[in-house]
Structure 1
Amino acid sequence: MGEEEILIGEQPRRSLAAPLIFFIVVTFQFVSIYLHQLKKKGSKSAAEIQLRAEIKQLLKDASALSQPSTFAQAAKLRRLAAAKEKELANYKEAHDKGMKLSSDSYPKILFISKVVTYFVLICWFWRTPVAEISQQLVQPFGWNYTLVDFIYQGQQVCL
């Protein structure tokens, strides 16, 4: 009965440190991927979509007018489409400049928060084991020595 009490008392207590650290690291990775995708994809506003549709329709109408008598009307539609393309380029440039200012700060904030969080975790769990490997995983066949121990002691190992 006394030996059983010692064995029960020696069981390692389960810590939530490893799942907590894993959750924090995974969360940071997902936020980083989300910000990268958001920056890469960009956002299309309703005005930009509308301008693109107008340009497409004007070019379609201009290509339909292929008779010599409608040449002036087709040229007018093409010039109008070119003007809309310039308007779209100016709108997109202004919109991208505003987005760049806001989207450049998010990765910096994320990086700083990662550094601070990882530093706090390192200080918090400095002397605490956060993960444990069982003896059966390290030495599955019950060998008392590893290959490195044999080589270190100067003994030859035949494989």
Structure 2
Amino acid sequence: MGEGEILEQRRSLSAPLIFFIVIFFQFATKRLQDLKKGASKTDREIQLRGEIKRLLKEAASFSQPSTFAQAAKLRRLAAAKEKELANYQAQQSKEVKLSFDLYLKVLFILKVVTHVVLIFWFWRSPIASVSQQFVQPFGKVLSWKTGGSLNNNVMMEVGIIPWLILCTRVSKFVCRLVK
């Protein structure tokens, strides 16, 4: 195998590989953000909600003027349980937010490091070759830092930075569609 064939094979595999890396990071970020928003209810929270519902139902059953004191007492107990539930939810929300924020930060750092490695790896070499007619108004932008065009201006080489930008935009769009 000649050096040209190896370069061509590397070029043909690098564009989809980079796209899949970018889309993986996008989906992982989206998934963590969704999990952060909708953290599951715990058993304690379900139990407190059940108790509140039961107390309010009991208080509603005391509709006579002679049982007003009992109904008021049950409503106060339900209000205290609601306050306890609110405090518990705030505490759980804080803990969940901190843990997911840590995961999101680690994922962001990993994403940045991966992008930097890809940029250094493919800095002067093209990622893909595209027909110049296909990218007519954007040819110079897409070939930035790769050396320009190929085969008497028929094919345009795409550089790593424009490819990463394009992959990021497409992956964000795909994530919104998959929702």
Q: Please classify the TM superposition score into its range, dividing by the shorter chain length.
A: 0.7 to 0.9
The offset of 1:79, in angstroms, is 1.4
The one of 3, 20, 24 equivalent to 2:21 is: 24
Aligned residue-pair number: 131
**Alpha-carbon distance, 1:138 to partner:** 5.5
Q: Quick one: which of 90, 93, 110 aligns to 1:113?
A: 110
Over the matched positions of the two proteins, sequence identity in percent amounts to 66
Which consecutive aligned stretches of 4+ in structure 1 deviate over 2 angstroms post-superposition?
A: 12-15, 134-139
* Equivalent residues in 2 for 1:50-65, closer than 5 Å: 50-65=47-62
The two structures have a TM-score, normalised by structure 2, of: 0.65
RMSD of aligned Cα (Å): 2.3
Residue identity matched to 1:113: L
> Which segments of 5 or more consecutive residues in structure 1 lack a partner in the other structure?
1-8, 146-159
**In structure 2, C-alpha distance between the alignment counterparts of 1:23 and 1:81, rounded to whole Å:** 52
Any gaps of 5 or more consecutive residues in structure 2?
137-151, 154-179
Establish whether residue 79 from structure 1 lines up as the match of residue 51 from structure 2: no
The letter for the 1-side match of 2:131 is: S
Give the letter aligned to residue 102 of structure 2.
S
Q: Bigger radius of gyration, 1 or 2?
A: 1
Offset from partner CA, 1:75-108 (integer Å, 9 cap, x none):
1211111121122122222222322321221221
Residues 96 and 29 (structure 1 numbering): CA distance in 2 closer, same or farther, change over 3 Å? Answer: same
2:86 maps to 89
SS in 2 for 1:114: helix
How has the CA–CA distance of structure 1 residues 74 and 26 changed in structure 2, closer, same or farther, with 3 Å as cutoff?
same
User: Structure 1 residues 118 and 34 mapped into 2: Cα distance closer, same or farther (>3 Å)?
Assistant: same
Residue number in structure 2 paired with 1:37: 34
